[in-house]
Structures are given as structure tokens and as C-alpha cells.
Structure 1
Amino acid sequence: MIVTDPSDAPRRLPSVDLSAFIKAYDVRGTVPDQLDAGVVRAIGAAFADVVVLPEAPEGQPPRAVIGHDMRPSSPELSRAFADGLASRGVDVTLIGLCSTDGLYFASGFLGIPGAMFTASHNPAQYNGIKMCRAGAKPVGQDSGLSAIRDLAQSRLDAGTLPEETGSIGEVDEQDLLKAYAQHLRTLVDLTGSRRLKVVIDAGNGMGGFTAPAVLGDDAGLPALPLDVVPMYFELDGTFPNHEANPLDPANLVDLQAAVPEHGADIGLAFDGDADRCFVIDEKGDPVSPSAVTAMVARREIAKEIRAGREPVVIHNLITSRAVPEIIAADGGTPVRTRVGHSFIKERMAEVGAVFGGEHSAHYYFREFWSADTGMLAAMHVLAALAEQDRPLSELAAEYEKYVASGEINSTVQDAAATTERVVAAVRETAAAEGEELEVDRLDGVTVLHPASERQPMWWFNLRASNTEPLLRLNAEGADEATMVAVRDRVLALVRGA
């Protein structure tokens, strides 16, 4: 047992503007000018007051769990956060190195709130905090994060932490890696699968820690019929090989070359905190996250139907139109939602969804407390591939019905005005051609042209960034030529060409 006495730590706190780096979903700032031990201690104390203490079961001591990634600053910052919690009378369990979904597992498994220290795919000078309530329920801007920010800011402005609650929480350590790996293996059984060769690019992030435990035997579990070829498994928060951000195609180049070079069946790439997973087929070509969403949805829908339940699957509005079509064809109910994990998780709870997927390669599972886990999604893809004899490229083709542009950013002075100008111009053109368009504003603006006698199906979405003067375009068409025509037309309008 480690007993922490926050009174031994400096009581004076630094002055900093928390609104500059506490955003809609998490904390994400540079070290040490925005995030240092004093700032994090104040955030930890505020997390205790806003989330942990009000949620503590009656008659039981308040508890929280903390994990961290491989960034050099993560151990110190997670300890400072624990000090802040302990100063408010909260007992803290430190699980040390883990992936973000490992922290979500710990929160669900232990039934207590949690905090993960990571800046995900951001460069080395960044760190951050992802917080959750008991059972991995999200803490976002409208579900506690704003209150945590404001309370911590008031204390930072005053220069000191509040007086202790009268009892100092205890801090202990627990290793949950094996329990995390065991839980995932109960959800997808790979033991009887045909043998697969898998190249995994961990990007020097936490995938290099969790993959050997879940897909290998490092946690003491039986070996699976997988031959794993590791790439950049060494934990290094300076990211010496490439950024741990597989959403950028430049960071997939090494894996795309390695898969055919090794004669592998599949490649997997994880981001820095290993909560997202990207898939590469045997030819070295990416499998879109939309195709992965549809592939996993098909498996989860079948499982729900076998259990006699009505399957509901969430997808965000940027995923391919093929996703809701496949969900419906397989007997499920597709539910469309905004982009972002807090919206996905809230909607999953509202409609009792079994699964949810996003275009950014975040995948959410009811059996995983409705939290996102890249590793479980990867296991589903491995199982789907192993259960049949075709190569992944042929399997994935079933789910790649349309052609997408990917996300394209444009710098604009007035995102709202630019968006309205684009919509007006596109509507005018469609009206002149006698075509019908559907427009909705669930998240930004989505313009859909259903398939007609004159034109095939196409759609585009324009969304403004919350933090930068950027307008984000996603477009999709029934074929390459249609998508390119829509993409180029909208970009020309956005950029004033």
C-alpha cells in the first residue's frame, strides 16, 4: 500500500488558462507550459469533487483508478493527479502503463471512475487526460468536464488547493493487464481459427504493450493461432519512427510495405494510446474504417439475433452510406449520430445499441461498457478473416460499395458563411438540372443526392473545427468519377476558386 500525503507537495499552484486546452472531450496540452504537476493536481482534486465523491456508493470509501501511456511525463503527471484525488479523501488505484481501452476496462471491471494520461496520437511534447465515470461512462463538456475545468480554474486563480476533507486517501497499485486480455478473449474466441500471419505497427505506442498480452502469451494466456510480426513495439513517447497517428496516410507507409513483404494475411496499426485500430489487407491496401464498422456490425447483429434480441447499431454521419445499408440488410436497425465519442456513447445507452463505429476508427461495444476499443475491433476482423478462406482484400470488398474522399481540411475565415454559400450554390445547380437534394444539419451540413436516372448517389458533409479556422469536407460517391466531381466542386466553392 502506498500512502500519499498531499500536504508534502507544494501548496502553491501555477496560473494557467485551462480553457486553452480542456476541450469538448478531454484535456490535451503541452508539457510543461500548460500541463505540469501543479495544474494536474488541481484538475485531480476537481475531478474528485465533481465526479468521484458524488458517485461514491453510500457506506463505501470513494475510489478512482488511474492509468498512463508511455510518454516521459505520464508517470509524474498521473501521480500528481492521484495526489489531487487523495487530498479530497479519495482512494486511488494506479494501474501504471495501459492503453486507453485498458483504463476503460479497469473503470468497468472495478466499477469506479477513472482517468487516463495520454495525448493519443499527438506529438511528444503533448500530454492529456481522458476521464470517465464508473463503468467507463464518458466525462465530456456537457457531462462534467466543464465543471471540472471551472472548479480547477478557480483554485488555480486563488493559488492554492482547498483544505483537505479531513482524511487523506490511500494510493495503491494493481496490475490489470492479464484481466484486460482475458476479458477481450471472452468476447472474441480466436482459439479455433485458422492460422494467420499478422503484422502489427504499434508506432512506439501502447499497442506494443497490449498486443503481446492479448494476441500473444506475454500475460500468461495460452498462445493463439497467430504469427505476429512486430513493428515499433518499443515504448517510446518521443515517437522515433513515425507519429502514432494512423489516420494520416504517411504513418501507414511502413506497414503497407511490410505486410506483402512478410507474406502476411493482414496488418494492424494502432494509435498512441491504442484505442483506435486501422487495418491493411494482404496487398498493402488500407481497409476503410467504414468497411471495418460494417464487418464488425454484421458479426454483432448475428450474435444479437441468435440471442433473441433486436440489434441496434450506431454509426456516425461520416461513415459510408454502405454501413446503414448493410446493417439494415442483415436485420439490424442503423442509428445515425454526430461525430464524437461522447455522442456515440450517449446514443448507445439511449437506444441499447450493441455496437457503434466511426470513420476515425473508433469502435464501441456494449460488452465493453459501450466504450471504444481498437483491440476488440481488431480481434473481430481477425475472426472474420479466419472464419473463411478468401484473402482480406476480397472479404473487405463486400463492404466497400462506394468511394470516399477521406477528410479534407480547408482554412476559412468564416466557416458558417462559407458553408451556406456552398449549400446555396449546390442547391441552385441541382434545381437547374431537375435533381432533388436532401439537406440535414445534424453535425455541420450534409447534402445527399440519392441515386436518380440522371446521376448516381453522392453526398458530402461540411463541418467546422471546434478549435481551428478549418472547414472539414467528407464526400462519397457511387463510383470514383462521381466522388471526384463532387469533391472538386465543393472544394472549389469552399476555397473560392
Structure 2
Amino acid sequence: MSIPQPLISHALFRAYDVRGVYADNLTEHSVRLIGQAIGSQLRDRGEQTVVVGRDGRLSSPALAQAAIEGLMAAGCHVTDVGLVPTPVLYFAVQSGLAPHGVMITGSHNPPDQNGIKIVINGECQYNERIQRLYERIMRGELWHQPAAGRVQTANILNAYQHTVCQQIHLQRRLRIGLDCGNGATALLAEQLFRDLGCEVYPLFCEVDGNFPNHSPDPTQPANLQALQTLVRAQALDIGMAFDGDGDRLIAVDGNGHILWPDRILILLAQAVLPQQPGRMVAYDVKCTYRLDQAIRDAGGVPSMCISGHSLLKKHMREHNAVLGGEFSGHIVLRDRGMEYDDGMYIAARLLEVLAQETAAPAQIFARIPEGCSTPEHKVYFASYEAAGEAMALWMQHQQLQAQRLITLDGMRAEYADGWGLARASNTSPTLTLRFEADTPERLEAIRALFRADIQRLQLTPEALPF
């Protein structure tokens, strides 16, 4: 006797979005059901207008069509904005095109993966709100009013570009490298930054869902090598790299040195807080310990928060924070009314700050103290559950000898001259770790404490990446 298959895989419903492998657990059928569940949730509230966008992945057109069909089956009115970066979908919602949005995107993940980011009343959905969609599908609580549904198309790209160019003015011409990584920002980034007055040197600015040049994740240093080479070869002021759907930014200075987002946050805080004294600046647990004092020195109030772009934005709204960001590259700057994480917009705001001085960006960033730090290390597990269980076991039995242990999101062990972090990722079946210290010797000593703990508890049979 065959075992009945579930309507839809529960594994799709993650902490910040829906995510899966195309044609495996993420199919047109499953996305149609999710679209219908989102539409049913809206119809329960007496609402029915929603905007739908998609990134440049090969599976995105079919999945976007399935989402639209599901929304229409519930009787929703859909505005299809087509291929756009995720922040342009957010812009469409904030601009009033519709109060709700559905974005088909695999973000920074490999080409065979895809997903859905969901915006309800301008707020990205997360945790239990996403789980409720799964529960609704499994209970069969779905509206069936296809005759009431309709779809129209709209071009929102020009309005987005116009808004950014109206907001941002560079006092001098900067020579910049742009690495769109064949992601959705390739649609408009090159022209946008030319319109802002930059001399642009483009890399991989053609949308290609195969991502033939490098993975669409600029937080991995290997994926920045082409940009670093370009910046040095052309003696550019700065290089900017975006992830696959454009909501993350990583930069490199004119020497090719990586400017991690926590250092970008410090510079933006120093620029913004004099006009916004006493406002909160939020940052996630993966950011440098130097942020706290830098924010205070600039006249702001620092606030550490849980990692996750949806949770960051929620924290910022609740506390009226003017600026917030994650080490992963999600940055939100709200002083001019933009309420969402947008790699291109933040890149433009960063250029605006840098253009106010005649000094090279590398010299400007050199004023910001920098210790010894690592990128994120990832320890892979067979499943999200296995990674979570390993993290829980470690937290229960850790011997990290920390002066202060922060358990807001995983474990951040702080010492007099550095810190180490371990947490279970919500976007991959991994434990992610990061370290920072004042000297290379102390950095290695802190890493050694974490290594010893992992080996003592036998958390993984795999070789550690640090």
C-alpha cells in the first residue's frame, strides 16, 4: 500500500521566507497552493490587492505564474511587475501600488533553489506568520473564487530609479565598480549609478539565472575576487557587489580590501546621527563589537538584535531606529522614508557620504578602527533540525570561558579583547561562526576555544572550516 504524500512539504516554510529546491519540494503546484493561502489570508481580512515580482532565476517565471494563479484562485487582484530586484518589489508596496507583495526569489542561494518573500501591509512575514500559511493549506482553509480574480502588469523600475535619483546627490564624480553577479540588479544598476553621476565599470551586469561567473552571494570572499581585481586594475574609488535579488550590499575599497557591512554601518551612523541625535541604530549579533561605542560617540543609541532581515526591520519599526543592518549585508536607512533593505539604495547613500570628502574612500574607512576578524564560517549538517539540535546541545554544555555570554541568538561569547559567535542559520542547514579580536594571536585563541568545545562535544564528524 502506498503512503499518501502530504499536500506540501513543511520543510519549505522557513524562518524568514519560503525556500526549497525547484522541481523537488518547491514546485509549481506547491507555489500555487502558497499563493492561494496568501490570497485566502487577505480575503479573510477583506483585502484582495497584491503585487507580484520575480528574480532572474530560470525557475522564477514559472513559479511567479503559479503564485499569480493561486492568488487569483482566491479572488485576488494581482499587479505583476515582472522581473525586478526584491527591493523594487518593496518599493512598489511602499509606493501604494498594492499594500501586499509576493516576491519569487532564491536570494543568494544556488541556482537550483528558489523561494518566496511575503510582504503583508508593508511588513516582511517571518516565523509563525509563515507557518500559518502551511497550517492553512493542510487544513484546506482556502478561498475558491477564481471568477473574482484578475491580473494586470505594471512597470515600476522607472519610478524606482527616479525616486533614488531624486533623493541622492553626489558632490563629486566617483569611479566605481559594480558586480551584479548576474542577478536581478543587472536590470538597472549600471544605468542607475550612471544617472547618479558615477563613472561605472560593470561586472556581470547581465541577468543569467545560471550565475555562470560566481555564486550570487557576495558575503563569501571568493565571490568578490573579480571585483577586487577590477577595482585595483582600474584604480577605482570603490567596488560594490549585490546578491542575487539585490537586498544585500558588500563593498571593497580602492585597494581591494573588503568593507564588511558592520564597518559600512559605522560610517553611515557617523553621517546620519548628527541630524538624528538620540535615535537608535540596530545591528545583529554578527557585527563588530566596535559598533556599540561608535554609535554612542556619534550621538545614537545602539541596540543589538537577532539576525534575520524581517526581524531587523521589525525591531527597527518598534523602536523607531533610524539605521539598522546585518553583517550579511542587509542595511536599512529610514531617514528619508525608505523602510526596507536595498543594496542599490544603500550603495548610493554610501557614495553620497564618500563624495562629500576629497579623500579616497580607502582613506575615509581607514579612520574607522578595525581589528582582526573572520568572515562567516559554516559548519554543515544533514538538516536544519540537526543543526538546531547541535546548537542546543552546545549551549547547554558550553565551556567557552566567556566574560559575557549573550544568548539573544545562539551564543556570542565576549572577552576583554574580542568575541566569538555560533548560531544556527535560518537560511541553510548550518552552524555559522564568526570571530573578532584586537590581535591575530587573540583571534586564534578564541577560535581555539570554540574548536575545542565542538570537538569535546562531538557536534560534527566533519572537518571544521576554521
Same fold (TM over 0.5): yes
Q: Take 2:8 and 2:149, find their aligned partners in 1: how far apart are those partners?
A: 28
| Contact map agreement 2:81 2:153 (CA 8 A) in 1 | yes
Amino acid paired to 1:139 = Q
Q: Take 2:374 and 2:236, find their aligned partners in 1: how far apart are those partners?
A: 27
Which SS does the other structure have where 1:293 is aligned? helix
Which SS does the other structure have where 1:275 is aligned? coil
Amino acid paired to 2:303 = V
Q: 1:449 aligns with which of 403, 410, 415?
A: 415
Distance 1:481 1:79, change over 3 A: same
Which SS does the other structure have where 1:485 is aligned? helix
Distance 1:467 1:78, change over 3 A: closer
| Contact map agreement 2:400 2:449 (CA 8 A) in 1 | no
Partner of 1:11 in structure 2? none
Answering whether residue 325 of structure 2 is matched by residue 357 of structure 1, we say yes
Amino acid paired to 2:131 = S
Distance 1:323 1:271, change over 3 A: same
Q: 1:272 aligns with which of 236, 244, 249?
A: 244
Alpha-carbon deviation of 1:328? 0.6
Moved more, 396-405 or 75-84: 396-405
Alpha-carbon deviation of 1:384? 1.9
Distance 1:369 1:138, change over 3 A: farther
**TM-score normalised by structure 1 residue count:** 0.84
- 1:366-392 Cα shifts (integer Å, max 9, x gaps): 245532111111112211221112222
Q: How many residues align?
A: 444
| Contact map agreement 2:37 2:142 (CA 8 A) in 1 | no
Q: Take 1:335 and 1:227, find their aligned partners in 2: how far apart are those partners?
A: 37
| Contact map agreement 1:52 1:133 (CA 8 A) in 2 | no
| Contact map agreement 1:64 1:112 (CA 8 A) in 2 | yes
Q: 1:471 aligns with which of 415, 431, 435?
A: 431
| Contact map agreement 1:410 1:494 (CA 8 A) in 2 | no
Distance 1:185 1:117, change over 3 A: same
Partner of 2:392 in structure 1? 416
Percent of aligned pairs with the same amino acid: 31
Distance 1:52 1:348, change over 3 A: farther
| Contact map agreement 2:118 2:124 (CA 8 A) in 1 | yes
Amino acid paired to 1:195 = R
- 1:29-78 Cα shifts (integer Å, max 9, x gaps): 1111222222111100100122465163xxxxx20000111112212211
Q: Take 2:352 and 2:30, find their aligned partners in 1: how far apart are those partners?
A: 44
Amino acid paired to 1:396 = F
Q: Take 1:141 and 1:267, find their aligned partners in 2: how far apart are those partners?
A: 35
Please report the RMSD computed on the Cα atoms of aligned residues, expressed in angstroms: 2.1
Distance 1:167 1:40, change over 3 A: same
Q: 2:24 aligns with which of 10, 20, 33?
A: 33
| Contact map agreement 1:18 1:153 (CA 8 A) in 2 | no
Q: 1:493 aligns with which of 453, 460, 463?
A: 453
Q: Take 1:92 and 1:467, find their aligned partners in 2: how far apart are those partners?
A: 28
Distance 1:37 1:237, change over 3 A: same
Which SS does the other structure have where 1:426 is aligned? coil
Partner of 1:300 in structure 2? 272
Partner of 1:152 in structure 2? 137
Q: Take 1:68 and 1:47, find their aligned partners in 2: how far apart are those partners?
A: 16
Distance 1:162 1:485, change over 3 A: closer
Partner of 1:109 in structure 2? 95
Partner of 1:197 in structure 2? 175
Distance 1:76 1:368, change over 3 A: farther
Q: Take 1:229 and 1:75, find their aligned partners in 2: how far apart are those partners?
A: 29
Partner of 1:7 in structure 2? none
| Contact map agreement 2:391 2:410 (CA 8 A) in 1 | no
Superposition map of 1:171-182 within 5 A:
171-182=151-162
Partner of 2:111 in structure 1? 124
Superposition map of 1:241-320 within 5 A:
241-305=213-277, 310-320=278-288
Q: Take 1:27 and 1:388, find their aligned partners in 2: how far apart are those partners?
A: 43
Which SS does the other structure have where 1:215 is aligned? helix
Long gaps (5+) in structure 2: 459-466
| Contact map agreement 1:52 1:113 (CA 8 A) in 2 | no
Which SS does the other structure have where 1:81 is aligned? helix
Partner of 1:3 in structure 2? none
Larger-gyration structure (1/2): 1
Alpha-carbon deviation of 1:302? 2.5
Q: Take 1:303 and 1:403, find their aligned partners in 2: how far apart are those partners?
A: 31
Which SS does the other structure have where 1:371 is aligned? coil
**TM-score normalised by structure 2 residue count:** 0.90
Superposition map of 1:71-86 within 5 A:
71-86=57-72
